[in-house]
Structure 1
Amino acid sequence: MASAALGEELKCSICLYFYADPVTMRCCGHNFCRVCIDHVLNTQDLESRVYSCPGCSIKFQERPALQKNVTLGNMVEKFLSTHRDGAVISCTYCVDSPVPAVRSCLLCEASLCDKHLRVHSKSPEHVLNDPSTSLEKRKCSVHKEFLKYYCTKDAICICMSCRLDGKHRGHRVEILAKASENKKKKLRNVLEKLVTKREKTEVRVRSVEERRRKSQEKASGEAERVTALFIDIRRRLDDLEKRILREISRQEEKLSLSSSDVIQRLEIKKEELSRKMRHIEELCNMADPLTVLQDPDTGDLCDPEVERGDEDIEENGVGDQDLGQISRISHSLADIIRGVALYVQDPADTLLDVNTAGNNLLISDDLKTATWTETCQNHRQTAKRFLNYHQVMSRRGYISGRHYWDVEMSKLGVCRVGMCYPSIDREGDKSVIGDNTKSWCLFGGQGYDNQCSVKHNNNQIRLPHQISSNRVRICLDYEAGQLSFYELCDPIRHLHTFTATFTEPLHAALWVCGGSIKILGRSSYEEP
């Protein structure tokens, strides 16, 4: 009973088996198998990042430290060596009542309790060992002698006769204790490597879990952003629908009132004409010519101005609906859809390439802002650097897909934003974006009274209206050959679209004088 109780104390409360590589939680003193408690703590780290002891449920903010319990491990090892299938190894000579054995004699192949051990032979050939039921395994199956040596060539334990006269004669051998220590040394080296690999694996697991957590957070944030975006789109569409319907109703009411007035005037005119017709018919039926010729009401019947007056009533009294106004309002719908609804954010960002920046440009540490400065920066000369102008390109170019990026231009100075091929000239008059066949841009600023233009191959198109916002969106549809510019106002407004057949990667490009330009982000979009 005592042995059974001890066996229960030597079992892990998680797996319910005997401790394997037992460790102690320093915070509360409870013991567990290392693999079992690591699995529990990893699960808690993944689910809530709040740790607790499975034995006492005490909670900890940080992952509790584990210390190997050597004493407990030795107890388990010794207990298991004296038991088989959970049964206590009893003394061979206590036949009346089983008494637990404390040692086993290899020569006698018997297990001994304390009482019988005291009277047992002390001669050297009687080799004593921990209690075991497998004493026959400690003797040579051929010579029935004790196994004393280890043949390194055949990797087997042998007896004295095997070494001197048997098939292992002449082989290199070691005594069992030395061979065991050599093997333990190798096993410890393997164990150290396995521990190192396991630690590296744990680090990788935590790294992957952290990336997964960040990815989930980013996906959640992106879902919220897209949800808010479409809520805003629906709000804009509802407002636009109401504006158009109000305009149609207003014009319909105006047209109805105008039509009623014209109809009333025409009815009066019709009565007047009917009266004249009756009078003329009466004159036509008269026989007296003098009466017909001297009638005072027929003097202006053939006057052409009367006919024109009738036409004026019809043409000027009733007009058509102002479809142009409705069309202009409806055009906002296209701007909302083209400028906002088709976009889904991409995690990649547009970053400026410092190696291309002109010497009068300061590039921010986050590679997002280009600022003009009068002081020459004396950048290191590279083949990609713009030499004559304060201009910079993005690191990455796009050879396919649909992309957009937003910029915020300072209210001071003059700015150009657009895209260019990497083969654009790096010096000379043709190196400025918009002034050659390899770039497209939108430009404006303080010197242009907020009147913007677009430019390609030095051909300038002046936009018909001023822009009120200093934020602009540049959209690229590479396969469709379209590069579009939008003003980021409410609602978003389409400014211009270039159409071309792109033949090289397209990089974002900035040119600034007397101010700064900040990149707000870069994204990709898909069809809804």
Structure 2
Amino acid sequence: MAAELLRDRLTCSICLGLYQDPVTLPCGHNFCAACIRSSRRCCEKACPECRAPFPDGAEPCRNVALSGVLEVLQLAVREPGPEPRAAARCPRHGRPLELFCRTEGRCVCGECTVHECRLHERALLEAERREREAQLRAKLEVTQQQATQAHTQLQELQQQKSQIQNSACNLASVVSGKFSCLLQALELRRISAQRDIEAAQTQALAPALDEEQRLRGHLEALAQYGQRVQGLLEQVDDQTFLQDLQQLSEPPGPFGPLTPLQWDEDKQLGNLKELLSLLSGLLLEEGAPATVPARAPDLVPLKAPDPEAQVPSMVCPLRKKLWQNYRNLTFDPDSANRHFSLSCQDQRVTHCRRSQGPARLGSFELWQVQCTQSFRVGHHYWEVRTSDHSVTLGVAYSELTRQKLGTNTDNIGRESCSWGLCIQADSVLARHNGDSWRLPRVSARLLGIDLDLACGCLAFYSLEPQVQLLHTFHALFTRPLYPVFWLLEGRTLTLCHQPGAKLPPAPQEAASALH
């Protein structure tokens, strides 16, 4: 009896076995050396019994006296290993627990059935467990089916979202492309139409965000329930299994059908048809008519793939010449800062207040994003539409630093490997290698960038209300250049696309052009 009491005092509270190489914490509690090391690796640095904090840098001390007591105990009882776990006994009568009282929902002994549970419904522990396991497995199967259905619904919802986003992007692109052929007086109408489409897109996608959040919450609840059930099924001790089972809540119910998303393209274009009825063929049809209305003689239809033929007659000759080297670019999602949201087939980027997900490998820690395409040789031109000031456009080599250094949220033009134009509220700054040149304030909603690698020229243009050269950099570009952008929170940049524009040369073509 004394040996059993002594053994209880010499039991580790982590592994529930006799101390192995016992150590003492500063609070005075003892544990196996291996157990406390494992506990400190996976849990907070505190005593598992009294939760007293464990100072940084301190190491548990080996308890020499306790180690000697353990050796004496092992020699006295002649049991080198921990004794086997004893069968659970009734706390009232001290007899083995062999039955389960369904009426009271607890494990009982034979004597309990004579006194307290004589008229209750009883069953053997093993039989009760088998029956409860069968019920639990049936519930688990139902929850797994619900999870499969929820995954399918989530995919359908994401597909609907993608279709609406593509449709909205195509509508915005069509409206933008068609309105570019109109007179300068119609420019404000085009901007208004694009904003209406974006507002309608936001309104149409609002239910989808709620449904997606609910679906993810439903999936998380199903997963948590599955984990709890799996843990119960892996429980070896019958008593613990049945007691824990009493505390298990019911599984989540079915999610139910999704609310269909509403999107009507004709409704979005209804106001345009009324306001621009004379030009509806040019604005709303995919292909331009062979002839134009007599009341709009200066508008040239967009049919030919040649960039020269796509230019309205009222566009200045300089912009017509720049369009000969037009490139349709896209943003690189892997380079985007985690607060950037890409849309319209990676042609539009928006700086959001909330993070859009974890940072990707190789993404900018700065508020920047670069294009997928790069240029090594040749002559290239592209245009960018901005929502407001506080944006930077430029080009950079691939070694442009992506980590944030100091308090700056951008580094375009601050290093020798990048050149940039920063659009501010009161002025424009041209920057390279830490140097800057202040330029007069201009309308910077539509900007053009012309890169002539053969001549070593990088020119920035303001295109509204008329074409105006802002600044030209002259340099010897020795490595591939990537278009790169910085934008303040709440700002949006859109890479303008031209039908029939040439693609940037492939890497092997660029390499062959060097020889």
Larger CA Rg, structure 1 vs 2: 1
Which TM-score applies when normalising by structure 1?
0.35
TM-score by length of 2: 0.36
